[in-house]
Amino acid sequence: MASKAKQAEAKVPIIKGKEAEDMVLDYIRRMNRPFGAVDVSANLKGAVPKAATQKIMVALAEKGDLVQKTYGKTTFFVVNQANLEDMPSEKLAALEAEVKRIDEENKSLGAEVKSTGAQLARLKSTPTDKELVVEVKKAADAVQKARSHLDPLRAGTPLISQEESAQLDADCTRWRNEWVRRRKIFNTFWSLATDALTPQQATELGEDLGIELDTPEHGTLERGVLCAAGSVLGKRRR
């Protein structure tokens, strides 16, 4: 019951007669564009029924207030442009000035929006307080770890004896030479074994046999200072 009562209250009262005619004409004048009876009645919230709106618009066209246009089976009505008042030059100038002012305001607001957007992007890319606390702690831990590594050096503690250093140099030279020798032997035999194969077949054979070649890291190590002639660890330190 309450719902029906609300619907009854919300229902627009029907307008008839001269008042309805004035309402239709005023609406079409204000909009100043072509309309059909269905559109006008709907835009007036049904205050003037569709059938009555059609009759009113036809009558207004007969009186010259509207101009009736027919496109196929559809009829449109538009306000008679000859009956519209010419806009005074002063009012036209004022409107142009207002349009210019609004255009300048739009440009200013657009620049402000762009600047605000850039500030927002910077704020979003800036770490939060919680993230800064985490980063500061990581940095402090890294500094503490680095300092702990420097403490023995600052105290003058020998980290390795000369005998141990010489032994490391000797081991490095020995195993590097062994590495180079074994690689040379392998390359010689592998070249003989795959001489009749295409590179792709040789690669597939190596994969089937589980042969592991030097990785790019090995090449980097061999070209580095540790493997350069006359740059073993002991010699660099002396």
Q: Are 61 and 110 in contact (CB under 8 A)?
A: no
pLDDT in tens, 86-136: 667 787 788 788 888 998 999 999 999 999 999 988 888 888 888 889 999
Helix axes 17-31, 50-63, angle to 10 degrees: 70
pLDDT category, 7, cuts 50, 70, 90?
low
Mean pLDDT score, 65-86? 83
Residue 226 DSSP one-character state: G
At position 20, the amino acid (one-letter code) is A
**Which DSSP helix (H) or strand (E) runs through 118?**
helix 89-125
C-alpha–C-alpha distance, residues 39 and 161, integer Å: 100
127: alpha, beta or left, given left = phi > 0 and alpha = psi -120 to 50?
A: beta
% of residues, the chain, pLDDT over 90: 17
Q: Is the pLDDT of residue 232 over 60?
A: no
pLDDT in tens, 199-216: 899 888 888 888 888 888
pLDDT category, 137, cuts 50, 70, 90?
very high
